[in-house]
Amino acid sequence: MKKQKWIVMVLLIMMAFIMAGCSGTDANSKKDEKYKVAVLLPGSMNDGGWSTMGYKSAKAAAESIDAEFSYTETKSPQDAIDALTDFGERGFTIVFCHSFDYQDAAKKVAADYPDTQFITSGGTTMTENITPIYVKSEQASYLLGVMAAKMSTTKKVGIIGSEEIPSITKTLKGFAQGVKDTNPSIETKLTYLGTSTDAGKGKEATIALINNGCDFIFASANAAAQGVFQAVDENKDKGVIGFGSYGRITQKYPESFIADMVSNYEPVFVELAGKVVDDTFKPGVSYFADIFNGGVNVYFNDKLPVSAEAKKAYDDAVAKFKTNSIKIDIGEY
- Which pLDDT tens digit goes with each residue over 127-181? 999 999 988 999 999 999 999 999 999 999 999 999 998 889 999 999 999 999 9
Task: 279-282: list long-range contacts, CB under 8 Å, 24+ apart.
Answer: 281/117
Kindly report the pTM of this predicted structure. Answer: 0.77
Domain boundaries along the sequence of the chain: 33-135+266-289, 137-263+302-322
Distance CA 214, CA 204 (A): 14
Q: What is the DSSP string of 22-58?
A: HHHHHHHHHHH---EEEEEESS-TTSSSHHHHHHHHH
pLDDT, position 286:
82
Please determine whether the domains at 33-135+266-289 and 137-263+302-322 fall in the same fold group of CATH: yes
- Which pLDDT tens digit goes with each residue over 73-116? 998 999 999 999 999 999 999 999 999 889 999 999 999 999 99
Tell me the C-alpha to C-alpha distance, in Å, between residue 125 and each of 101, 257, 303: 11, 36, 42
Tell me the C-alpha to C-alpha distance, in Å, between residue 204 and each of 44, 118, 231, 232, 277: 21, 36, 8, 11, 47
pLDDT, position 15:
54
Tell me the C-alpha to C-alpha distance, in Å, between residue 116 and each of 64, 215, 244: 18, 47, 34
Distance CA 167, CA 220 (A): 9
Any alpha helices (H) in the chain, and if so which ranges? Answer: 2-32, 50-64, 77-89, 102-109, 137-151, 166-182, 199-211, 225-234, 249-252, 266-277, 308-322
Q: Strand 296-300 relative to strand 257-263: parallel, antiparallel, unpaired? A: antiparallel
Percent of the chain with pLDDT over 70: 89
- Which pLDDT tens digit goes with each residue over 255-292? 999 999 998 899 899 999 999 999 999 988 888 889 99
- Which pLDDT tens digit goes with each residue over 180-229? 999 999 999 999 999 988 999 999 999 999 999 999 999 999 889 999 99
Contacts of 237 (CB under 8 A, 6+ apart): none
Residues 182, 151: contact at Cβ < 8 Å?
Answer: no
pLDDT, position 258:
98
Give 293's pLDDT tier (boundaries 50, 70, 90): confident
Question: Could you say which of 3.40.1190.20, 3.40.50.1240, 2.60.40.1120, 3.40.50.2300 is the CATH number of the domain covering 137-263+302-322?
Answer: 3.40.50.2300
Give 17's pLDDT tier (boundaries 50, 70, 90): very low
pLDDT, position 11:
47
Residues 161, 191: contact at Cβ < 8 Å?
Answer: yes
Instruction: Return the CATH fold of 33-135+266-289.
Output: Rossmann fold (3.40.50)
pLDDT, position 100:
87
Among residues 209, 220, 136, 212, the alpha carbon closest in space to that of 172 is found at: 220
Contacts of 106 (CB under 8 A, 6+ apart): 84, 97, 118, 120, 125, 130
